[in-house]
Structure 1
Amino acid sequence: MNKRNIYIYVLLAATTLGITSCDKFLDKLPDNRMELNNKEKIQKYLVSAYPDHNPAYLAELYSDNADEFDVTGWGSDGRFYDQAYSWSDITETQESESPQELWNSLYMAMSTANTALQTIEQQGNNSDLMPSKGEALLCRAYAALTLANTFCMAYDPTTASKNMGLPYPTRPETTVGTKYERGTLAAFYEQINRDIEEGLPLVTDNYARPKYHFTRNAAYAFAALFNLYYQKYAKAVAYATRVLGADASSKLRDWKAFNALSVNGQIAPNAYVSVSSQANLLLQTVHSQAGALLGPYRMGNKYAHGQLISEKEDLQSQGPWGRSSNFGYTVWSNNSLSKYFINKVPYAFEYTDVQAGIGYAHSAYAVLTTDLTLLVRAEANAMLGNYDAAVADLNTEVKAYSSGALSVTLEGIKNFYNGIGYYTPTAPTPKKKFNTAFSIEPTTQEPLLHAILHLRRIMTLGEGWRLQDVKRYGIVIYRRTLNASSSVTDVKDSLTVNDLRRAIQLPQDVITAGLTANPRNK
């Protein structure tokens, strides 16, 4: 069988267990599926509705959190990295960070959710199965939003009916060869919204390992994030408040304790994704080399978050709170690496053949946290013109992040961003021009949004969230080449406001199988 067809057809089919090849997949459809005949089996099955890949490193490499270093000894780790950094269509499929692996994982998660939902329907939507139905709907919506964030343009109501969405299967596929259409981004978001709204009232907290499931708090945090992207700001505020309450200060990460941990090894990264942290609402374990690429290893030196970005734009930059390094964290760096980072992305390697030295790299992410949710609420309030509420949320996060050492005021925020120039690639600042279809009030709203995005960029460095802010706010970013002294020697390219490369290209096998590719500028 031509295996290139499995990515669009077979991987959208009903999930089966123990599949090791294309032929076995087809041989087992549909009769040898695990018999989901009770609540416990469905709950166990839904573990596979959480994807085992995350776009974080791909998004970091694609965003303005990376520069290219032309330094002897800091070579590329392969064509995937060259293609991703240069915003080329990525043809490499073997890397765990590749669009191909991400696509497969996310659609397999949706397929698992669909099989569970069909089973629940066949069993009469019994009341004791409703929590599993809610979880399956949230899992399907989460995978879909991750797909949209990666492979589509940013959502805006003025363009969403024109921009392409992606296939959104809602039933298990039981025959090979079913063809899918991409539809519009507006329709794709509408389906995500339907799944979230139906799933929210059904989810519970009754899990053996709740931090790896859509508990109520995780579900409402996800709903708040989605509605921020959907530009439904009042709903984003309401859902975030369901998680945080009116005063979020007691629910945030203990940054002082985290910053006190050793920056070497896996102590701090493992603590960052610990189930015992009250800030972590949803954790995800993944196949990934991100912990090595973003950590204290020689991998990832060619394209990296280096000293210039750190000092001028985020970790060590000036902000309305003062110098960002005064937040209390230790910025990891040394002369043998190009990278400046906070060591918080864990790395582990599982050997499948110790003698041959081969196996799988693993990592983990806190994909939903109370701190992220607080900044979602702050941004949504800023967009609604609720400036006092937005500043209060931002200030709560600044105080928590700095262990009480720093704070902000609206006047201070306005003075800071009005007092610095907009970013250019050779004169970088943390203030990057917004180019949005929606209007932004320049006197108060714009500097407040700059502050929220500035803090989120610092706080979530290495987690992939920055690319979504770049896309949503039409921020122009550049491909710069730096020397060993972190001086800019060349500016090769820019990702302009209407550049269609803002939507990462679909995997080549999917395009070859017949799904319409993302368009590219002529």
Structure 2
Amino acid sequence: MKKKINHILPALVLTASLGLTTVSCNGFLDEMPDNRTELNTDQKIAKLLVSAYADVSPNELFELYSDNSDDSGPTYGYYKLSEQECYHWQDTKEEYQDTPNSLWGGYYSAIAAANMALNAIEEKGNPASLDPQRGEALVCRAYCHFMLANIFCNAYDTHASQSLGVPYMEEVETTVSPRYERGTLEEVYRKVERDLLEGIGLISDDSYSVPKYHFTRKAAYAFAARFYLYYMKPDFSNCDRVIDFATRVLGTNPADLLRNWEALGNLSVNGNVQADAYIASSNEANLLISSTISNWGAIGSDYLIGPRYFHNQTLATSETCLSSGLWGSSDYFYLKPFSTNGFVASILRKSGLYEGTYLYYMPVLFSTDETLLCRAEAYALKKMYSQSAADITSWQRAYTRNKSVLTPEQINAYYNKMSFYTPFTQQTPKKQLAPDFTIEEGMQENLIHCILHIRRITTLHEGMRWPDIKRYGILIYRRDMANQRVTDEMPPNDLRYAIQIPRSVIVAGIQPNPRRN
């Protein structure tokens, strides 16, 4: 059984079967060395790395925080109290799955596993035979810290050297009651980059029996593309790396590598039929799949639980998966949301209801479709508008029945005519942007509006909208749909962009994120 995580940064006890249980640092140190399984074979080290992939997902938290959710009113229920608190951008005190407490513990547990593997490899003298395992451990460590920064820190910008980071764990803990410092966001990103680049060069796909659940070369390249997109530089030099790594995944003609949205849309939305197909390891579009303990799969299932703070039909028709666009009306979409008479929620069936001791959720962490949009954005920021439009065309041809070729001029004209969003009175997908970097009015800004729109559609329910809101300083609102009123708003650079670290971590002495009194 998974124990409740109530410590700061979990260490790991290895059982005889190399299963992992989270315990306190003191508990780990109390174990005699001969009571811990030694990582004395290559096979044991490789097996340990299964636990370097966190069994948590921020997708519920990110979707609740973003403008992909509304309060549909007290007529509808919610599944857990944390949904109400997180939807209202409150610092929740709840500690079960999908909460900040669970995410903090889950990612640091995975980091501890990666560090134990790296330590064992180093003790063996870093032999070339273990290079693939060393590479995987480094990329896993980088990814987990990257995710922690996305949850508990601001978006990376020109103020990153003054912004709070997260503790970057590089060693196996060997002291009782250690002190941890958060450092700066700049330091975190530099270390993520270091681990990622070193690890990518060592990864070997041949070392995996089920590659889609591990960082293959392509999955690591996709991670690098997203990382450099978020590692924003004022001169957009980071975008060169985005384009490079995304092209390693996609090549110059990505059409054959994208998801077959038409085939997916033809499957039944009932049960797990469509959801199972979406997360299938046999699907070439899925680059990395995860298995997590989360309620999000159940909330997004056809069991229709917890619809109050969720994506509803109003959002779907005006801003997301049933919205109009360059492709025409929503009739052109291959993938349509699940809904039913009298039900307010609008759900794309991307995860089924998987039950065991806990509710399980199987998110796709990286896909060719999302990597394509990373490259399209990088091209737009570099003013390579024809290349950006070509990637947008590839997306449109895969996701919709509209097979026309889009030009930068068409995209610019369409989004230039679109009105900016206002709550209730002008509900459009085009929202005011206030990023830390400079975007030119006209062509560049309108291509970015297009990319933000189609990424929001493509990754709905998958937690990608919240980082976009932070990166682009998008003003969002909390809407009471029953009474047609705005109850709160989050302007650019709001302190709540950095979700509060767990209460137990603050009590233990780690600096909290600032809040207004």
* 1: CA distance, partners of 2:402 / 2:414: 20
SS at match of 1:100: helix
**CA offsets, 1:435-492, max 9 Å, x none?**
0111101111111011111001001101000001011000010000112xxxx61100
* 1: CA distance, partners of 2:423 / 2:467: 20
1:361 Cα offset (Å): 0.3
SS at match of 1:19: strand
* 1: CA distance, partners of 2:445 / 2:67: 20
* 1: CA distance, partners of 2:73 / 2:388: 41
Pairs aligned (count): 503
SS at match of 2:363: strand
* 1: CA distance, partners of 2:328 / 2:222: 29
Query: Which residue number corresponds to residue 454 of structure 1?
Result: 453
* 2: CA distance, partners of 1:188 / 1:15: 27
* 2: CA distance, partners of 1:140 / 1:312: 39
1:79 Cα offset (Å): 2.2
Query: Which residue number corresponds to residue 377 of structure 1?
Result: 375
1:381 Cα offset (Å): 0.9
- For structure 1, list consecutive stretches of 5 or more residues without a partner in the other structure: 351-358
Distance 1:347 1:176, change over 3 A: farther
Query: Which residue number corresponds to residue 469 of structure 1?
Result: 468
Identity percentage over the alignment? 45
**CA offsets, 1:393-446, max 9 Å, x none?**
111111111255455332221121111211111221110111011110111111
SS at match of 1:450: helix
Query: Which residue number corresponds to residue 434 of structure 2?
Result: 435
Q: 2:322 aligns with which of 304, 316, 319?
A: 316
TM-score (norm 1): 0.93
**CA offsets, 1:171-222, max 9 Å, x none?**
0002221110001000010000000111111001011000001111011111
- For structure 2, list consecutive stretches of 5 or more residues without a partner in the other structure: 233-237
The answer to whether residue 494 in structure 2 is matched with residue 495 in structure 1 is no
* 1: CA distance, partners of 2:87 / 2:22: 32
* 2: CA distance, partners of 1:279 / 1:401: 13
* 1: CA distance, partners of 2:112 / 2:169: 8
Q: 1:512 aligns with which of 507, 510, 517?
A: 507
SS at match of 1:322: coil
Quick one: which amino acid aligns to residue 67 of structure 1?
A: D
Structural mapping, 1:331-480, within 5 Å: 331-350=337-356, 359-402=357-400, 405=403, 407-426=405-424, 427-480=426-479
* 1: CA distance, partners of 2:412 / 2:22: 58
Quick one: which amino acid aligns to residue 89 of structure 2?
A: W
Query: Which residue number corresponds to residue 247 of structure 1?
Result: 253
The answer to whether residue 27 in structure 2 is matched with residue 28 in structure 1 is no
Query: Which residue number corresponds to residue 354 of structure 1?
Result: none
Quick one: which amino acid aligns to residue 49 of structure 1?
A: A
The answer to whether residue 236 in structure 2 is matched with residue 237 in structure 1 is no
Query: Which residue number corresponds to residue 235 of structure 2?
Result: none
Deviating more after overlay: 399-408 vs 59-68: 399-408
Quick one: which amino acid aligns to residue 183 of structure 2?
A: G
Distance 1:443 1:361, change over 3 A: same
SS at match of 2:366: strand
Query: Which residue number corresponds to residue 194 of structure 1?
Result: 194
* 2: CA distance, partners of 1:261 / 1:460: 19
1:50 Cα offset (Å): 0.3
Distance 1:421 1:513, change over 3 A: same
> Does the 8 Å CA contact 1:14/1:114 hold for their aligned counterparts?
no
Distance 1:288 1:336, change over 3 A: farther
> Does the 8 Å CA contact 2:5/2:105 hold for their aligned counterparts?
no
Query: Which residue number corresponds to residue 114 of structure 1?
Result: 115
> Does the 8 Å CA contact 1:55/1:97 hold for their aligned counterparts?
yes
The answer to whether residue 159 in structure 2 is matched with residue 133 in structure 1 is no
Deviating more after overlay: 414-423 vs 83-92: 414-423
CA RMSD of aligned residues (A): 1.8
Query: Which residue number corresponds to residue 59 of structure 1?
Result: 62
* 2: CA distance, partners of 1:233 / 1:33: 45
1:77 Cα offset (Å): 2.8
**CA offsets, 1:62-111, max 9 Å, x none?**
10000001242x123332111100000010012x1111111111000101
> Does the 8 Å CA contact 1:54/1:102 hold for their aligned counterparts?
yes
* 2: CA distance, partners of 1:31 / 1:168: 29
* 2: CA distance, partners of 1:52 / 1:5: 13
> Does the 8 Å CA contact 1:61/1:84 hold for their aligned counterparts?
yes
**CA offsets, 1:275-312, max 9 Å, x none?**
11000110001001112212222322111111111111
The answer to whether residue 87 in structure 2 is matched with residue 45 in structure 1 is no
* 1: CA distance, partners of 2:329 / 2:183: 46
* 1: CA distance, partners of 2:80 / 2:269: 28
SS at match of 2:361: strand
Query: Which residue number corresponds to residue 181 of structure 2?
Result: 181
> Does the 8 Å CA contact 1:475/1:496 hold for their aligned counterparts?
yes
Query: Which residue number corresponds to residue 306 of structure 1?
Result: 312
Quick one: which amino acid aligns to residue 80 of structure 1?
A: S
1:330 Cα offset (Å): 2.0
Quick one: which amino acid aligns to residue 455 of structure 1?
A: I
* 2: CA distance, partners of 1:126 / 1:33: 23
> Does the 8 Å CA contact 2:323/2:330 hold for their aligned counterparts?
yes
* 1: CA distance, partners of 2:100 / 2:418: 37
**CA offsets, 1:22-66, max 9 Å, x none?**
575443265533221222211111000000001011100110000
Query: Which residue number corresponds to residue 355 of structure 1?
Result: none
Query: Which residue number corresponds to residue 271 of structure 2?
Result: 265
